[in-house]
Structure 1
């Protein structure tokens, strides 16, 4: 009986050992990997190596230029020796991590019969129109016609002509060094009408180390898919002034042609409003000598904040908002003038704030108060007002007045207010800016995800990153090929995809749930189950170790 009881006890002990080993095996082999897999952070693969290579990207910008020589512009032997193509490489010396090289790809040819006939007819504007009818000019390209030195197309004291389109004219020279001097004049035309270092420096103002923290008042608007323009009439004293302005007609005749020319750079919408009892927030000072009030230059920055709270357009817009304010001063502070830093009145009686908009003070004619009952009816001269606002709009977009070469004739901007080649310069600037912004965004995202390993990376975020990298590479390729419009479209796609990936809400879901907190949550759940298993394994190990030592003592 004792032997049978001892055998049953040994059998139960062995069964207990097998059960403990089974539970331990299941927990370690199956449970632990399954728990680790189901609680790990999902991270889709990203092109980290390609993103790191973007900072070392060497950007090559091709500028196609066609130089057409009339048959009387050079000696016949010089025309026969004209090269087919000449590429002038210019490295843009900007302190930026991405190297930028500009290639002026010049193609030389002799004028065709149709072009020769057109160059002998009418004025230079008529000749330009006739030449443009027979040929298409791609965005970013430039055509320079070298005409006869004795041609009557240009006045005698003028050497060159720059038109509103992508066309220029230069007088030829009949002597041995003519080609050299013509080349110098072509460079002057290119520096005016085409891509230059100043254009790229303004576009990369936020990305250049030497410009950060500087107060550059000409810093243009950031590139965006769209903009909203708001024209506001401020009437702080409606009891004294009954102001009327034809803003719809002014927008239709002056602003809309300008915006139609800029439509390729983004969608631009326009609205207007009238605000009563809207004060500037700064008390003007009275000048006894002129019996007028004035706003000093140092007080102008304090004018915007009190008014901006009443505009209300920026809070409801997804795009940057440009505010143009027409302020009719109250009767107690009329007339009101703006002074510059030297204390002299500003001719336009207006000022602009970079990346915000502009304000113009519109004084009422003092003669309107003679024998008139209040409120005085005021009809705003919209021609004068729109001239100021359009000039400010050009500055806000970074379209400054070009520096014309000496002895150069230019008819000025067309009715739309913009030269075609000015729009090309803006597209170049926006393309390079978008490229720099997308590269910086992707680099920051890559560094963030590399440092914090528990951030979730979903497949849609990864696809946006891949799409942004491909768009940046396409932009660089299109710029190297001289395709400005397709390069600009690809750069917009790069910025959009990179910002979608960077600001995706899913990246923040587990940002504050690191691994140590994960173990702190799960250990109290697993510890009550793990302690009996571990104690059983320790007991089994000790018994096995004791059984191994018993035979040695018998010997």
Structure 2
């Protein structure tokens, strides 16, 4: 009897010990060894980025030339003035534009520069004297009697970051405050032309806000250009559908160096570029041209241009060894049976450039050579392509595809063309403003989307590399926003590029694929068949122990009664 009690006591102790080990050691150990590793992420800072508050600061310097201010007004001229404009793009995006305007009178050397025979020479001389920082604007106010600007032109915008404005002060010796109030609207128009307008920034934020807030012109410009990328691949292709008739020669290397490379050198702050070329034989358009009997020419209508690209693109191949976007520029020389070939717009008018471009893809130019040889010429005819004519068209298309906007100046404005540089400094600044804001908007949207995804799916592993990329993106975003507020455009673009690179590296990391990991229900489905046979005897033993304890308590209470 005593030995049986000892055996029962030993059995109860063994069951309790096993149960204690399972509960206190086994389950925590199993839970710990099967949990998903998730490195720390700055969630509070990411949530702050979900509500984007952008402050854009433009440094403006207004320089009054001799004859625009009286001596008394010059003495009272304030050093600086700050104006701010606030806009609510939507419930989660606020914009504030800050114009820090500094006032001063022209120096003796600047007065000499303003005495040049024309505005272009004056702009060049002013740039030699001093170079304005990236993103800033310098406005030289000229008296109405100045002959520097041609008749009918009130504002001249040069190659750099300088503008010349004619101003006629009010008669009767107006107060300085009235003079500055009168010149401010002109200066604001100049700043919006040379830096950015509200619609430019709204278009750059189009992936965060409703498209209804974007004007049609700004939306068309933003949809035509390639999205911001760390690099671009540019490919020039010569399509010769009839090599038995034409032996084409083109100096593409020299043309790129002369016409394209100056633009790419200035655009190096935006992205990295690589250029290559190729010649494709027997490459034909996917659309048969129509013959116009009245003009004895072949034509391609605007409606058929959309069907040209796909058949040609199949022949282009991919020369890019990276994931960067490819900008294709095709020079098509028609065969003798479909020559001359002209492109006509929707109004049935011939396009002067005989070329068209496809948004975010590239451009195609038709180059007719039928007038370069006679019918008696021996085939194949050796033909040299006029690269200046071709590159002029491709350069204009390249500017549009890279996002250099077509500025529509107000009445009375004259904008100097970029010349051999391909892009003016203020046009580049406009692009940098848009790219910086676009990068900030895209990177913040990517990071917030990633954080929401990781919150919803708890079994995705967040390794240390992803956490570091997210942290880098958040830090770069904060730095870019701070630099935009400080007016340091070059640094803002640099930080915004780093932010978008880090955010995309984190978002598209292969280790974040949800299918690589078991969801919790599958985890339990795998482990329950292993643990259940072991747990059933333990549970039955515990139930028996509890039953015996209740029985003993009942017997003790019965004896007391």
Q: C-alpha displacement at 1:317, in angstroms?
A: 3.0
The normalised TM-score by structure 1 is 0.94
Is 1:45 equivalent to 2:40 in the alignment?
A: yes
Cα–Cα, structure 1 residues 258 and 12, in superposed 2: closer, same or farther, change >3 Å?
same
Structure 2 Cα separation of the partners of residues 42 and 389 of structure 1: 52
Deviations 1:144-192 (A, max 9, x none): 1113333343335433321100111122324336544433322232232
Equivalent residues of 2:336, 2:370 under 8 A apart: no
Whole-angstrom distance in 1 between the partners of 2:547 and 2:108: 107
- The residue aligned with 1:485 is 490
Alignment partner of 1:291 is 2:296: yes
Offset of residue 547 of structure 1? 2.0
In the other structure, the counterpart of 1:414 is 419
Looking at structure 2, the residues matched to 532 and 189 of structure 1 have their Cα atoms a distance apart, in angstroms, of: 86
Residue matched to 1:508: 513
1:3 counterpart residue number: none
Contact 1:72–1:148 (CA under 8 A) maintained in structure 2? yes
Q: 2:24 aligns with which of 10, 23, 29?
A: 29
Counterparts of 1:11 and 1:482 in 2: how far apart (Å)?
A: 86
Distance 1:290 1:455 in 2: 67
Deviations 1:91-144 (A, max 9, x none): 356457321121121111122333334434554434333333332311000111
Match of 1:189 in 2: 190
User: How many positions carry a matched residue from both structures?
Assistant: 550
Shift of the alpha carbon at 1:443? 1.3
d(CA) in 2 for partners of 1:527 and 1:500? 43
CA offset digits 1:413-433 (Å, max 9, x no partner): 131111101001100000000
Residue aligning to 2:338: 333
Change (3 A) 1:96 1:222: farther
Which whole-Å CA distance do the structure 2 matches of 1:546 and 1:32 have between them? 31
Between stretches 421-430 and 208-217, larger displacement belongs to: 208-217
Q: CA offset at residue 487 of structure 1?
A: 0.5
CA distance in 1, matches of 2:188, 2:557: 101
RMSD across aligned positions (CA): 2.2
1:165 & 1:409 partners in 2: Cα distance? 14
| Aligned-partner Cα distance in 1 for 2:29–2:15 | 20
Tell me whether 1:166 sits opposite 2:181 in the alignment.
no
- Within a 5 Å distance, the mapping from 1:92-491 to structure 2 comes to 92=87, 94-95=89-90, 97-120=92-115, 123-174=118-169, 175=171, 176=174, 178-210=179-211, 217-218=220-221, 219=223, 220-313=225-318, 316-366=321-371, 368-491=373-496
| Counterpart in the other structure of 2:81 | 86
Cα-to-partner distance string for 1:237-294 (whole Å, 9 max, x where unaligned): 1112111111011101101111111111111111000111112111222222122221
Query: Deviation digits for residues 457-498 of structure 1, max 9, x if unmatched?
Result: 112212211221111111111111110000111101111111
Q: 1:389 to 1:457 in 2, by over 3 A?
A: same
1:36 CA displacement: 0.8
CA distance in 1, matches of 2:49, 2:297: 58
Distance 1:376 1:212, change over 3 A: farther
Distance 1:25 1:411, change over 3 A: closer
Q: 1-side partners of 2:373 and 2:203: how far apart?
A: 45
Contact 1:234 1:327 in 2 (8 A): yes
User: Are the equivalent residues in 2 in contact too, given 1:57–1:99 (CA < 8 A)?
Assistant: yes
Q: Name the counterpart of 1:551.
A: 556
Q: Secondary structure at the match of 1:300?
A: helix
Larger mean CA deviation between 421-430 and 107-116 belongs to: 107-116
Measure the CA separation in 1 of the matches of 2:220 and 2:281. Answer: 30
Cα distance change of structure 1 residues 416 and 158 upon mapping to structure 2, 3 Å threshold: same
Aligned partners of 1:205 and 1:211 also within 8 Å: no
C-alpha distance 445-411 of structure 1, shift in aligned 2 (>3 A): closer
